[in-house]
Amino acid sequence: MKNMIPVFFLFLAASAAFGANDALSQASPAPLGERVAIYLQNMLAIQCAIWEQNHPVDMDYREEIHLAVSYEPSEKLIGVSVVGTQEDPKYVQTLLEKIHKTMLSFNKKIKGDYGIDLSVEDFSLAYLDTRNAKIILRLKNGTIVDRATPSAPEPTPTHSTEIDMTPKL
């Protein structure tokens, strides 16, 4: 019985540690758009890993890209931010169209799981060139809505120019 006392206190301490996270376990419904965006984020992460491994022949493989998929409730769109290092608008357009087509290829699964059909009009895609901190291209409703014009990058603001750090008395 003496051996059980330390085990009891160990379980008591562990349950107290887990008790602090009760708020995280409470159910709250997420909008359907957010759930679909999370699904697409996961599927595109897998797809990008496959692209990087296979170096597709239908695209000029040049870089590793990073994607962020989110639901934009004000516009009722699924937004896709693609981050990479390319400045070539033709390459970027091909890449965005490929990502767009890939997302639409998941429509059968999305219809089965969420009961909706996604269309071309449900997406907004943008490509950010990290070297110049510029958006190279935006695709909305399946068409180009914004193409960056080559120019010098804007200077990055320093901490001292953004915030007045002098103490106020």
Domains of the chain in sequence order: 32-147 (3.30.300)
* Side-chain half-sphere CA neighbours of 7 within 13 A: 4
Q: What is the pLDDT of residue 122?
A: 93
Average pLDDT, integer, range 151-159: 47
Number of H helices, E strands in the chain: 6, 5
Task: Find the mean pLDDT for residues 13-34.
Answer: 67
Q: Across all residues in the chain, what is the average pLDDT?
A: 77
Comparing C-alpha atoms, which of 48, 124, 24 is closest to residue 79? 124
Residue 73 CA to residue 151 CA, distance in Å, equals 32
Q: For residue range 93-115, what is the model confidence (pLDDT) as tens digits?
A: 988 998 999 999 999 999 999 99
- The enclosing H or E element of 12 equals helix 4-19
Per-residue pLDDT band for 87 (boundaries 50, 70, 90) equals confident
Nearest C-alpha neighbor of 67 from the set 108, 31, 107, 102: 102
**Does the pLDDT value for residue 13 go beyond 60?**
no
